[in-house]
Amino acid sequence: MGGRNIPPALRDWVELVVEDNADDLLRYFRRRVTHPEDAADMLGRVLLAVWEKASRLPTTEQDARMWCFGIARNVLREHYRYAAKQLALADGLRDHLRASAPPQNGADTVVEEEFRSEAIRQAVRALDDRSRELLLLVHWDGFSIAGAARILSINASTARTRYTRALRRLEKQLDRDDDPESRPATFASSFPLMAP
């Protein structure tokens, strides 16, 4: 792992702390997230932080353990904030699409919403990081495109171009996911006993 410029005694101590706590930290994350791969990613971020901040690692086992779990808590909070932003963006885009869609009957709308919500989340996740963050700043945080550009340290015209391209990619992805063969045409056709 890390530790190129760490004195040997401190390196040994960090390795011991990591070895003693990594499994518990992974369990901590697994109990709190939906996807196991997210737990593994978060563990990696904690271990990286431990190595990067090795000079601040407490010198007793209990204090070092608590310190590691403090870092884990911060990583988890960051994960929750990011997930909430993605969900809110998906909800906002779904509302936008719903407002521009032709009216449907109530049963069809229920089924369609379930498919669209997940499709929007997947489409947003598929965007590159820069485009996704721009959309999150505009649709979740409520910034104008120009305001988001300032936050991202890019010029406003670049932000407008990225924003437009990101929306086009989302629309294309959602149109692709909207294949009638991949989902039931109506609520009733989802449940054969209810079909006329």
Backbone angles phi, psi at 104, to 5 degrees: -130, 170
> Could you give the residue range(s) of every CATH 1.10.10.10 domain in the chain?
101-188
Rounded CA separation 31/100 (Å): 39
Q: Where are the alpha helices (DSSP H) in the chain?
A: 8-30, 36-52, 61-100, 106-126, 129-139, 145-152, 156-177, 187-190
Q: Among all chains, which residue has been given the structure tokens 């936050």?
A: 151
Chain segment 88-113, per-residue pLDDT in tens: 777 777 777 777 765 555 555 555 56
Using the predicted structure, report yes or no on whether residue 180 has a pLDDT greater than 90.
Answer: no
Instruction: Return the higher-pLDDT residue of 141 and 109.
Output: 141
pLDDT, position 17:
97
194 band by pLDDT with thresholds 50, 70 and 90: very low
Chain segment 30-83, per-residue pLDDT in tens: 998 888 899 999 999 999 999 999 999 999 999 999 999 999 999 999 998 888
Mean pLDDT for the chain? 79
Q: Among all chains, which residue has been given the structure tokens 């310190």?
A: 67
Mean of pLDDT values over 141-151: 81
Q: What DSSP state is assigned to residue 191?
A: S
Over 110-131, what HEC string results? HHHHHHHHHHHHHHHHHCCHHH
Q: What does pTM read for this prediction?
A: 0.48
Rounded to the nearest 10 degrees, what angle do helices 129-139 and 61-100 cross at? Answer: 70
183 band by pLDDT with thresholds 50, 70 and 90: very low
Query: What's the CATH architecture for 101-188?
Result: Orthogonal Bundle (1.10)
126 band by pLDDT with thresholds 50, 70 and 90: confident
